[in-house]
Amino acid sequence: MNRSMLGAILGSLFGMSALGGMSLIGAAPNPGPGKPEGNWRLLDPVAYENITIFPVVSSSTQDTSPFLTLDEGLSSGEVIVSEQGAAGLARTRDGRPVAMPQYNGGASVNQLVLINRSKRPLLLLAGELVSGGKQDRIIGKDRIVPVGSEPLPLDVFCVEHGRWMGASSQFGEAKTIVHPSVREQAAVAQNQNEVWNAVRSGTLAAPRAEPSGAGGRPAIPPPPPPALSTEVIGDTIATSAPTQSYAKIYEHSRAGASVDEFVEEIRRRFDRATLGLKGERVVGVIVAYGGDVAWSDIFASGELFEHYWSKLLRSYAVEALARPSYRETAAITDAREFLRNLNGREVVESEPGVYRWREITEGRLSLIELESIAPRAMTLHRLLLHRTS
C-alpha cells in the first residue's frame, strides 16, 4: 500500500488533514478558486443614502457557544488587557489576583499584554477597540487565545494620537470596532501611520469619478457633502477630542449625531428585511458604498453575528458618512462575488491546536479567514474587502 492510499484511509477513518503541524478535525474541503465557500444565500439589499447592505443567511450554522468574545471577557473581568511593564497585581472582577508579567522597556505603543483567565477560548477580531491605559488601541489581527494560556504580548495599533498617560494601566471594553478604512490599515496594511491617517480623515477611499452625460456634464447631480467631511472631523478633534480619541471623534458633537441617526435608520430597514426567516439565520453582511461593493463580514453562526452586529453596523455607518458617493444600489451579482474563494498569493499563520489564520490576495481584493482548531474546526470569521490602498 503506497503512502497516498494510506493517507486517504486514515483521513476517512478519523476526518483529519495535516496542515502545518496542526490537525483540522472535520474541516470542509476547499471548494477551489472562484467557487462559493459556504452554504450562504443573499437576501434583497437594504439600501439607505449611499450604503447598501446585503444580509447573508444560512440554513446550517455552527455551535460557537464555546468561544468568549472580547467585550464579554473584559466586562466579566475574565480577560485582562494592560500596558506592558505594568507593575504589581491586577484583579479580576471577582477579586482574584493576577500577577502582571514584566517586560523590558516598559509600555509600548504597538504591544499590550493580555491574560485569558476564562474557561473558554477568547476570540479577537482586528479593529476591536480597547479603551484606557496610556492610549486607546485596536486589535491588530484576528486570533484565538486558548484557555489557560500564559500572559501574551498582544499586537495592537494606536487610535488616539497625542495622549500618553492614564490613571490606570488596564483597559476596559469599548463595545466599538473601527470603521473599514481604519480596520483595513490594521488587518491588511498593518501600518500605524495609515491607521492614524484613516482616523483623521474618516476614510482613505478615493472619490469616485462622476459618470458623464451629454456634453461632458454629470449625468447625475452629486450628493450633498458627506456628514463626516474632514472639516467636521477636524472640528470635532479641535473641540471634543484634542488627543484624537477614536471614540470621542465618532460619538460626540456633530459627528456623533450624524452617526446615530444613520445607524437607527439602517437598523430599522435591516430588521424589517430579515424578519420572519424560516430555517435560516443571518450570519453576515456584504456592504457596498454607492455602487461599489467594498466589504463583508461573515461568521460561523447567527449568534456570533448578532453579538458583533451593533458595533459592526456603526462602523459601516461611519464609513458611509465619510465616503463621498452617489446614492446607488449595488448589483446583487457584484455582491455574490464576495462569497467566492480567491485565487492569489496566500499567507498562513497558525498556533498548533488552537487556530489557523490565512490571507489571500487577488488584485485589489483581500480575504482573511480565522479557523478554530479546537474544540472543533470551523471558520469563525471571514472578512473579504476591496482595498482602498
C-alpha to C-alpha distance for 84 and 156, rounded to whole angstroms? 12
Confirm if 299 and 285 have CB atoms less than 8 A apart: no
In a domain, 79, yes or no: yes
User: How many domains does the chain fold into?
Assistant: 1
- Number of other CB atoms surrounding residue 360 within 10 Å: 19
Residue 115 CA from chain centroid, whole number? 21
Q: Which three three-digit cell numbers place residue 323?
A: 465616503
The residue among 96, 97, 95, 130 whose CA lies nearest residue 113 is 130
Confirm if 241 and 249 have CB atoms less than 8 A apart: yes
pTM over 0.85: no
End-to-end CA distance of the chain: 52
In a domain, 282, yes or no: yes
In a domain, 33, yes or no: no
C-alpha to C-alpha distance for 273 and 270, rounded to whole angstroms? 5
In a domain, 212, yes or no: no
In a domain, 210, yes or no: no
Structural domain containing residue 382: 40-204+225-386
The residue among 79, 84, 137 whose CA lies nearest residue 108 is 84
One digit per residue, the tens of pLDDT, for the chain of length 389 reads 444 444 443 333 333 333 333 333 223 344 444 444 568 999 999 999 889 999 999 998 899 999 999 999 999 999 999 988 664 445 544 555 555 555 445 567 788 999 999 999 999 999 998 888 778 889 999 999 999 888 989 999 988 766 655 556 678 777 889 889 889 998 998 888 888 888 877 776 765 554 444 444 444 544 443 456 666 666 665 555 555 667 776 665 556 567 888 899 999 999 999 999 999 999 999 999 988 999 999 999 999 999 999 999 999 988 888 876 667 889 999 999 999 999 999 999 999 999 999 999 999 999 999 999 988 999 999 999 999 87
In a domain, 10, yes or no: no
C-alpha to C-alpha distance for 75 and 376, rounded to whole angstroms? 26
Question: Reduced to 3 states, what is the DSSP secondary structure of residue 8?
Answer: helix
C-alpha to C-alpha distance for 113 and 84, rounded to whole angstroms? 6
In a domain, 77, yes or no: yes
In a domain, 23, yes or no: no
